Amino acid sequence: MQPHLKKKQVFDAHKIILVNETFTFQTYNVDHQVADSAATATAYLCGIKANYGTIGVNAYVKRGKCHAVKGNNVTCIAELAQNAGDCLF
């Protein structure tokens, strides 16, 4: 008799959907499984996912690569409201 061979199970956090996760929001950064507050704020307020340790820029900017910021800034909802003449503060 041959021993029973089990298939190796692969854990993929991108494919897991929690019961209460019915919206399109995902809780990870572009380059990390665990999100930080800066990149999470960018995703929430600007609608663009960001890399770990960055804020207000798109995924083309990596943490610590300040030379890449120019041209990769994103517009947040507060900036859109201010440009429209709505008072936020």
| Residues assigned a catalytic role | 37
Cα distances from 56 to residues 59, 74, 79, 87, in angstroms, run: 10, 6, 11, 21
In three-state secondary structure terms, 20 is: coil
Distance of CA 36 to the CA centre of its chain: 9
Structure tokens at 49: 């996912």
